[in-house]
Amino acid sequence: MAGKPAKLKHVPQRTCIGCRTVLAKRTLTRVVRQADGVFIDPSGKMNGRGAYLHNQKSCWEHGLKGALANALKVALTTEDRQRLEIYMASLPKESASETDAQA
């Protein structure tokens, strides 16, 4: 049959605040500002102002230098910074998807 072509599903796009690369929302980690602090949002559904980062240390290091605080429009407290640095310590230097995309 020569019917209508299959309609492509819309994939939400977000920008990593560390490297400014636009990617699918699900490939990035959301960090959210709430009344009681800044948290990592694995579900992507928490209430509050959010910002997105790659799962690699270079983007998180850049984000923690000021890009994250600027995007969330908040000054990071010592407790917030420690929480984010603990998460960052578990990340690889460069993710496998990044090396595949560059090849």
Mean of pLDDT values over 52-68: 93
Return the structure tokens found at 30: 């959301």
pLDDT band for position 51 (cuts 50, 70, 90): very high
Entry pTM: 0.81
pLDDT (0 to 100) of residue 2: 63
Alpha helices in 1-103 (DSSP H): 57-62, 68-72, 78-89, 96-102
Quote the pLDDT of residue 80.
95
In this structure, whether the domain defined by 13-93 belongs to CATH 3.30.1230.10 is answered with yes
Phi–psi pair at 85, nearest 5 degrees: -70, -35
Confidence at 8, pLDDT banded by 50, 70, 90? confident
